Amino acid sequence: MVLKEKLVMDRFAEVVKNRHDYAREWKQRTGGRVMGYFCTYMPEEILIAAGMMPVRILGSHEPQDVTERHIYSMFCPFCRDCLAQGLKGRFEYLDGIGMAHTCLHIRQAYSSWVLHVPTKQNFSYYISMPAKPQSPRARPFLIKELEAFKKAVEEWIGRPVTNKDLDKGIEVMNTNRRLMRQIYELRKADKPLVTGTECMQMVCASQCMDKEEHNKLLAEFIKNELPKRTGRDAGTRLMIIGSEDDDTEFLAMAESLGATVVADDHCTGSRYFWNEAPKSEDRIAAIADRYIAKVPCPEKDWEERRRWTHISKLVDEYKVQGALMIQQKFCDPHEFDIPPLMKMLKEKKNVPSLFLEFDVTVPVGQFRTRVEAFLETMQLEM
Amino acid sequence: MEWVATWVFLTHKWGPSVPKTTKARYPTKPLEGWKHCKELRLQHYKAFITARDEGKAIFTGSGDGSQILVHALHDSLFLSGEPYGASIGGDPAASDAFSEACEARGFARDLDSYMRNYLGSMYLDRYYFGGPFPRPDFVFSFHVCDTHFKWYQIVAEHFNVPTFGIDIPVSGRLSDRRESRQEYLASQIYDGIEWLEKTTHRRFDDERFIQVLHNLTETESLWGQICIQNQAIPAPLDQRALFTLYFPGFMLFYQPETPAFYRELLDEVKQRVKDGIAAWPYERARILHDSQPPWHWMKVFRIMEQYGGVSVGSQYAFCGGCSFDVDDQGVWHAPKTIKERGIVLQSREDAVRFLAEWEVGRLMFSVFCGNADDKNRQFLQMVKQWHCDGVMFHLNRGCEGVAQLQLENRLAMIEAGIPVGSFEGNMADHREFDEAQTIDRIESFMESLGLTKLELA
């Protein structure tokens, strides 16, 4: 993949588009293992410490007909799209596959993957990530789960994962998080220096490429490319909120209508990287702390609604004027949260919302009309 | 592939060997315990109407285990959302009104149909069994399915009442890191007990807690024995009966009337087996059912019966009310009671440890595991032990939790040469049910088993 001549954000887009080629080249270049994972509760720190490249399983936004016999059609299109990638052999380079317990939809993609999609080294692992991270009992339990996972990884690679290795894993992940937050900060400006589409590409690229290389590119962007940017007229300042969403085509369309997506609450956005692992002598405990304190997916956000706090803060800091509620069809956790969330945004933040139901492919024309109408209504009110 | 598997199946050891006939093959008679069971259920729901006047605290939450702790408090009632939503689901007119009231508030139509019925009843302030919706004083719920606590989070916010949830941890397989998961659950149970006392200002009675656990295991053991009796040919009970009879065990295990009722029922079922009394006198093929039934259209089982097919059970009916013991060969046995296990519960610590172990080991939770192996093995075992000729999957759009892995289970059955059929529906929302198509699907499946429609008088 020839990337060097391109600007960093274009390189991110290129990696996302050609992520399988990237991973294969990485394997060839480094001789390292590639571990696929579902959802963003997988402790990538441990995988990086073990010298692996973790890659998130994402879909391809193409209609498919290979999952019908494995996952019933009432489950979310994203989980079926993910499984389709495995069944079609697109992740044939994976050495192992894993997941940390999250929603029942994506869990089925993992389950079917383990049964029907062989990995190179036949390694699979399911971490029992607590569903109630708010419980003080979740932390000690997760520490044990991560210790067991680390042990399984050590047995797999045939060597111990030392504290030094873990320090590296934590540092690489924390640097990545810090740099991406730094870039997100640019969206607070009246004339944002980056678009929502670029940010989504950046985060998706982070999920499917070598983190150290991603870090270098982020640093390069901040040092060399950012000073040359002049920012754009933000227009209406939007936030996107909801289910898994890597639909950059939709986002680019929305941002072409006189609006800029300045913030998000997505697992392909801020939820993925917002908090860092704290410093601690006990590295596994530090990693557990990070995932316990992570901005929660709705599935893990009870009894208290801590996600609301994160969203409200983003609304204030990024001066959000309207929200697009992105709902993957059949995504239960978000279906529970969206009605009270829309109410909260309207009543407490005076932020109107537009609800959009997504599938693997979206009708851009129809959505364009709806987003335009939403923006026009907002402009009238403003 | 399905048809090939069916042919192989029928021409080998599994196939129904009984000649086609429209003559009744077995005697039958109504179940004597039926009326009593219905009364127990109705008493339970009616109790909420007078609960306030009687000074009782009302709790609400998921049906899975939460009430074991709640009933250690004196004078408490527990409105479990799932059975309540199922009751409404059996009445299409009520279900329409309630689910539409929920959907009108922005909740998606594809969410759990029990939940939509329950929330609609709450929003309209109409209790299905009469009067206004029983306003809970507290929300206290176990959580093993994504739906569980998200549902009661909405309830707690609606009534602005205190809330506490306990996470039942699931892993890749039921056996994975079980001790650690038990410890996690136990630690939360202690927190739950502390919360209950602090929030309700009621004393958590350890003796009562231990007694509830004794009742629980006795009830589950008896229910397990009743289910085991259904391995007999002809089956003394059918699936419709099982779905009704499991209610006391699932919901009312804490009261001594329940094990007493099940003891009587077990005696009656044993007698039916001894006398060869069948649930359906024309039994020619035995079907394992999967998932909750469409409560609004229990006729699904009648269609099978018209062909001599008897649904003899399901993981939901068996395991929803019972945590079977599984031996080294994978054989299911009715679980032993606390006493039969030689365990003496003398303290809260003993009781909490026992409860955590019991809950984490529930076979029903295999559906929530990250690997289909456990549930696949369970299906194969049920088919074997209950002498089933095929499996009918209700692809249940109303319950994502139980519908998980269904298609993988289906594939595993096909691979094992077991005939499978399926129909699509929704356990508690008749709007997602196509009667004509369902009849077609079931009839085709029955015919694929080599059965023809009986000519019944």
Q: How far apart are CA B205 and CA A280, in angstroms?
A: 41
Taking the CA of residue A23 and the nearest CA in chain B, the distance in Å comes to 26
Would you state the pLDDT for residue A4?
60
- Report whether pLDDT(B18) > 70: no
Taking the CA of residue B107 and the nearest CA in chain A, the distance in Å comes to 6
- Report whether pLDDT(B25) > 60: yes
User: Among all residues of chain B, which has the CA nearest to that of A102?
Assistant: B146
- The strand pairing partners of B325, in sequence order, are B333
Strands B309-314 vs B285-290: parallel, antiparallel or unpaired = parallel
Give the number of C-alpha atoms closer than 13 A to the C-alpha of residue B318, restricted to the C-beta side. Answer: 31
- Report whether pLDDT(B422) > 80: yes
Would you state the pLDDT for residue A3?
53
**Is the preceding peptide bond at A303 cis, omega within 30 degrees of 0?**
yes
Q: How far apart are CA A131 and CA B146, in angstroms?
A: 9
Q: Is A7 on the interface with B (CB under 8 A)?
A: no
Taking only Cα atoms into account, the Rg of chain A, rounded to an integer number of angstroms, comes to 20
- Report whether pLDDT(A255) > 90: yes
Q: How far apart are CA B313 and CA B288, in angstroms?
A: 6
**A302–B149: do the CB atoms touch at under 8 Å?**
yes
Q: Which of B453, B451, B434 is nearest to B10 (CA)?
A: B451
Residue type, B231: Q
Selected residue of B102, B150, B399 to mutate for chain A interface (largest A Cβ count, 10 A):
B150
- Report whether pLDDT(B245) > 60: yes
**B180–A144: do the CB atoms touch at under 8 Å?**
yes
Please list every residue in chain B whose beta carbon sits closer than 8 Å to the beta carbon of residue A298.
150
Residue B23 φ/ψ region, left for φ over 0, alpha for ψ in the -120 to 50 degree band, beta for the rest: beta
When pLDDT is averaged across residues A74-90 and rounded to a whole number, the result is 97
Taking the CA of residue B115 and the nearest CA in chain A, the distance in Å comes to 11
Q: How far apart are CA B307 and CA B455, in angstroms?
A: 9
* Contact predicate A253/A367, CB 8 Å: yes
A261 against B19, higher pLDDT: A261
Q: How far apart are CA B291 and CA B308, in angstroms?
A: 21
Would you state the pLDDT for residue B457?
63
**B153–A108: do the CB atoms touch at under 8 Å?**
no
Would you state the pLDDT for residue B4?
41
Selected residue of B408, B414, B420 to mutate for chain A interface (largest A Cβ count, 10 A):
B408
Q: What is the mean pLDDT of chain B?
A: 93
Instruction: Write out pLDDT tens, residues A265-318.
Output: 999 999 999 999 999 999 999 999 999 999 999 999 999 999 999 999 999 999
Q: Is A339 on the interface with B (CB under 8 A)?
A: yes
Q: Which of A20, A342, A75 is nearest to A209 (CA)?
A: A20
Q: Is A302 on the interface with B (CB under 8 A)?
A: yes
**B408–A104: do the CB atoms touch at under 8 Å?**
no
> In this complex, how many residue pairs, one in chain A and one in chain B, have their CB atoms less than 8 Å apart?
146
Q: Is A207 on the interface with B (CB under 8 A)?
A: no
User: Among all residues of chain B, which has the CA nearest to that of A107?
Assistant: B370
Would you state the pLDDT for residue B12?
43
Q: Which of A63, A131, A76 is nearest to A109 (CA)?
A: A76
- Report whether pLDDT(B10) > 50: no
Strands A53-56 vs A34-38: parallel, antiparallel or unpaired = parallel
Cross-chain CB nearest to A69 (options B370, B404, B407)? B407
- Report whether pLDDT(B2) > 60: no
| Segment holding A250, helix H or strand E | helix A248-254
Would you state the pLDDT for residue A348?
97
Cross-chain CB nearest to A299 (options B146, B191, B411)? B146
**B111–A339: do the CB atoms touch at under 8 Å?**
no
Would you state the pLDDT for residue A193?
97
When pLDDT is averaged across residues B411-423 and rounded to a whole number, the result is 97
**B163–A303: do the CB atoms touch at under 8 Å?**
yes
Instruction: Write out pLDDT tens, residues A5-23.
Output: 689 999 999 999 999 999 9
**ipTM for this prediction:** 0.95
Cross-chain CB nearest to A339 (options B107, B145, B397)? B107
Please list every residue in chain B whose beta carbon sits closer than 8 Å to the beta carbon of residue A69.
407, 410-411
Selected residue of B167, B177, B415 to mutate for chain A interface (largest A Cβ count, 10 A):
B167
Residue type, B38: K
Taking the CA atoms of residue B199, residue B360, residue A56 and residue A282 in that order, the dihedral angle to the nearest 10 degrees is 70
Taking the CA of residue A293 and the nearest CA in chain B, the distance in Å comes to 17
Would you state the pLDDT for residue A363?
86
Q: 């990545």: which residue's tokens?
A: A176
B321 against A256, higher pLDDT: A256
Please list every residue in chain A whose beta carbon sits closer than 8 Å to the beta carbon of residue B154.
336, 340
Cross-chain CB nearest to B405 (options A108, A124, A144)? A108
- Report whether pLDDT(B113) > 90: yes
Instruction: Write out pLDDT tens, residues A93-119.
Output: 999 999 999 999 999 999 999 999 999
Q: Is A308 on the interface with B (CB under 8 A)?
A: no
- Report whether pLDDT(B393) > 60: yes
Q: What is the mean pLDDT of chain A?
A: 96
Cross-chain CB nearest to A148 (options B177, B397, B400)? B177
**B110–A104: do the CB atoms touch at under 8 Å?**
no
Question: Which domains are present in chain A?
Answer: 8-159 (3.40.50.11890), 167-379 (3.40.50.11900)
Would you state the pLDDT for residue B66?
87
CA-based torsion, B232, B234, B237, B242: positive or negative? positive
- Report whether pLDDT(B164) > 60: yes
Does the reported pTM lie above 0.90? yes
Taking the CA of residue B398 and the nearest CA in chain A, the distance in Å comes to 9
User: Among all residues of chain A, which has the CA nearest to that of B182?
Assistant: A141
Instruction: Write out pLDDT tens, residues B262-296.
Output: 999 999 999 999 999 999 999 999 999 999 999 99
- Report whether pLDDT(B62) > 70: yes
Selected residue of B187, B376, B407 to mutate for chain A interface (largest A Cβ count, 10 A):
B407
- Report whether pLDDT(A2) > 90: no
